[in-house]
Structure 1
């Protein structure tokens, strides 16, 4: 899998990253702690979610380098 991030998106994301940041790629299906429930969850979409290393990650088992 390859995820390409534009320079414009990187200028928004990079200031939020530090040693405790965990980056999640979440399938927006309305299931899990970081996926909203409702009509938008019925569409095919992915979200890039930034959390700290102390937040729950139980629904995110696959690690991608």
Structure 2
């Protein structure tokens, strides 16, 4: 089931708000680091919604642990 819910959009807004505040206070060097952090946080959010799946059998490594 997709995690694209009100909670997901609130998470995205929180990440943007936190990193925007840091970027405003920093110079361009630190701004780039903040953007890298933002990218990483978004990658984590979207990875949580799209867990790994085996290309050959379709099983998920996390599903195997639950069984």
| Higher helix residue share | 2
TM-score clears 0.5: no
Superposition TM-score, scaled by structure 2 size: 0.24
Higher relative contact order (CA 8 A, sep 6+): 1
Structure showing greater radius of gyration is 2
Structure 1 length-normalised TM: 0.24
Higher strand share: 1
